[in-house]
Amino acid sequence: MSAMTTSRLSEPGSGFAGLLNRWGLPAPLLFGYAGLLLFMVGDGVESGFIAPYMAGNGAGSEIHASYVITVYGVAVMLASWLSGALSELWGPRRVMLVGLGVWVVFDVLFLALAVGGHNYPLMLIFYGIRGFGYPMFAFGFLVWITAVAPVARLGAAVGWFYFAFTGGLPTLGSLVASITNPIFGHYGTLWLSVGILAVGGLIAVVGVRERVGYQRLAPPEVKPVQSLVSSVSIAWQKPRVGLGMIARVINTAPEFGMLVFFPTIFSDKIGFGEERWLLLVSVIYGTNIFFNLIFGLASDRIGWRTTIFWFGAIGCAISILLLYFVPTAMGANYYWLALIVGALYGATLAGFVPISALLPSLAPENKGGAMALLNLGAGAAAFVGPAIVSLFLGPAGAAGVVIIFAALYLVAAVIVRFLKLPEATERAIAKDANLQDVSAVVH
């Protein structure tokens, strides 16, 4: 089923759809990308203020608010895995519908009963369950992309995915909050986010008519339990997929980890202050958005492994060291240098984008299982990074933790050298690339 669709979408075609296909954005999924962007804007509206807001509206303290966010994080990790596993059984569109429904229903309950009633137990329950929403919607769509995008343009297709994903969360979401908070207040802004997200979700699930995503991806004879087990057992049945999951964890674990202790270091110890630290974060993520797309497009030309190895793993190993040691050595008077190395780190983070094309291509007969492990790695990174900080910040200090992060990126570089594609997949990529090139000349 997936192979047939890939073949059908391999021809760029003519007109607007042909232009999109040549840019690596599958034209039949255009409304999915647009809806994803709006969905993630709605999800990202709260990112800059939700913890202190919960502390003042029912949680009672920042520690209690952190417990709510921890429960939410566990749900995100589980849902990240389930999005791939259930897409095999239900089809990606149905998984997206479930994710949209979970987010809207439980966020409404969270705002109306937990926050509105200053009820901490309900806050834990409703906000925690809401954590299943965005991964099932977003990563369900990512599975849809990998199921239908031409293999020779898969790097670009997932690059567009992360362009929309990170464009909404936290970038445009935080921008919306900065505009609406003074007008509607935090509570009104949170209600507004529900509307933005619901509109985006409906655009995606109603607007995309591509039929593969409407159907289960697993063969009819595969039973539910068998499919769920295979989404885990693929880690040792296909060891390269398991290694790829580890590389995916390493991709963003340092990013989550640095956000635990960098704010204090950059704001207080270096002396940038909170405002300039937040601007630095905006530069990191803003650069990352555009390089998600750039490296996605480039990886289809220079190779997925090459892009991940040099620009992702090696690049991040260098840039995260520069991000810490340059500002601490130069001090607050050289803020412009901090912006440069921050932009470099954001760019090199995007060098890992092709891993979302590489992993499912390592197991073309079980793309859903491979995507389930990939998404599990993305969710696990949110725990691994802060855990490394909690374990090593005391004995090793901030510099020691940053060196550990750089060493992890070098480990990822070694891993990537083992992620060689099967020969049949290499031939399929070459064949699709030739079709794309011929069609581009014709049109």
CATH number of domain containing 140: 1.20.1250.20
Distance, CA of 159 to CA of 163 (rounded, Å): 6
| Amino acid 35: pLDDT | 98
Q: Comparing C-alpha atoms, which of 128, 140, 167, 44 is closest to residue 372?
A: 140
| Cβ–Cβ < 8 Å for 383, 252 | no
81 token code pair: 């895995």
- Shared domain for 280 and 191, answered yes or no, is no
> For residue 118, what are the domain limits?
1-6+29-217
- Shared domain for 209 and 85, answered yes or no, is yes
Query: CB within 8 A of 350, min separation 6: which ones?
Result: 162, 288, 291, 292, 294, 295, 311, 312
Residue 224 lies in a domain: no
92 token code pair: 């990606």
Residue 413 lies in a domain: yes
Distance, CA of 243 to CA of 246 (rounded, Å): 5
For the chain, the residue count is 443
- Shared domain for 310 and 212, answered yes or no, is no
- Shared domain for 238 and 123, answered yes or no, is no
Residue 222 lies in a domain: no
- Shared domain for 292 and 428, answered yes or no, is yes
- Shared domain for 207 and 290, answered yes or no, is no
| Amino acid 391: pLDDT | 93
Among 217, 237, 256, the domain boundary falls at 217
Among 217, 241, 266, the domain boundary falls at 217
Residue 291 lies in a domain: yes
Chain mean position to CA 128: 19
For the entire predicted model, the pTM comes to: 0.88
Residue 19 lies in a domain: no
| Amino acid 435: pLDDT | 55
Q: Comparing C-alpha atoms, which of 432, 304, 355, 372 is closest to residue 5?
A: 432
- Shared domain for 144 and 189, answered yes or no, is yes
Query: CB within 8 A of 6, min separation 6: which ones?
Result: 148, 149, 150, 151, 432
- Shared domain for 178 and 279, answered yes or no, is no
| Amino acid 272: pLDDT | 94
- Shared domain for 290 and 244, answered yes or no, is yes
Give residue 269's identity as a one-letter amino acid code: K
Tens of pLDDT, residue by residue over 210-251, are 999 999 988 888 888 887 888 888 999 999 999 999 999 999
Mean pLDDT in order along the chain per 10 residues (443 residues): 41 73 92 98 90 92 87 91 92 97 98 96 97 96 94 93 93 90 95 98 97 90 82 90 96 91 91 88 92 96 96 98 98 96 98 96 88 92 89 95 98 96 76 57 44
Among 217, 246, 261, the domain boundary falls at 217
| Amino acid 210: pLDDT | 95
- Shared domain for 257 and 183, answered yes or no, is no
The vertex-297 CA angle with 319 and 292, nearest 5°, equals: 40
Instruction: Report DSSP letters for 244-302, one per residue.
Output: HHHHHHHHHHHHHHHHHHHHHIIIIIS--HHHHHHHHHHHHHHHHHHHHHHHHHHHHHH
Residue 12 lies in a domain: no
3 token code pair: 């192979």
Residue 14 lies in a domain: no
Q: Is 427 left (phi over 0), alpha (psi -120 to 50) or beta?
A: alpha
- Shared domain for 187 and 142, answered yes or no, is yes
| Cβ–Cβ < 8 Å for 136, 10 | no
Residue 13 lies in a domain: no
Helices and strands (H, E) in the chain, number of each type: 19, 0
- Give the count of domains, the chain: 2
> Where do we find the tokens 């933790």?
401
- Shared domain for 168 and 260, answered yes or no, is no
